[in-house]
Amino acid sequence: MHERVGRIETLHDKHNRQAFDCGTESLNRYLKEQAAQDMKRQIGVTHVAVSVDDPSSLVGYYTLAMASVSPGTLPEKRWPGQMPLPVVLLGRLAVDLIYKGCGVGEYLLMDALARSERVAHSEVGAVAVVVDALPAAVGFYRKYGFQRLPDDDLHLYLPMSAIHKLGLND
């Protein structure tokens, strides 16, 4: 991890969203124009890694929301009933171009997984973390154990049991 990367906190008005550039316009636009609105509407919560040098400067971000998938979507278990299964949606994850290759993506992902596991075991329940990956990010998620769901090559998941084995909350 780069020594200029600080802690992860919830997005707030003091953060300089306009200076963020990850190189993908849809991810930049979401952070700059939509993330705060989604938080106000309780659609998703955006967490940001800030710079040690300037806590208003954003190094990267991710957004979490609750979602569901049909029981037949997750292939490794037989789930009772036909009720949708609760999952945590990792809606977006992006790193500013200045910090690419410094381990920030992994830092953000591990924080998102740890946070998801804590919530799943103590607050709301969830059986997996799912992500609708951009094509360029599939390899990144696969490196950490995410598997393809049968409905779409870009729809990936990591079971909560696999996240638990990472020991992120020990």
The set of catalytic residues is 141
What's the fold here for domain 5-165?
Answer: Aminopeptidase (3.40.630)
What average pLDDT does the structure give for the chain?
93
Strand order in the sheet with 58-69: 5-10, 45-51, 58-69, 85-95, 128-132, 152-159, 147-149
Percentage of residues of the chain with pLDDT beyond 90: 81
Q: How far apart are CA 156 and CA 147, in angstroms?
A: 5
Query: What residues contact 14, with CB distance under 8 A and at least 6 apart?
Result: 55, 56
- Chunked in runs of 10, what are the mean pLDDT values of the chain (170 residues)? 83 97 97 97 97 94 95 71 88 96 95 96 93 95 94 92 93
pLDDT value for 79: 67
Sorted by where each begins, the domain ranges of the chain are 5-165
Q: Reduce the DSSP state of residue 110 to 3 states and report it.
A: helix
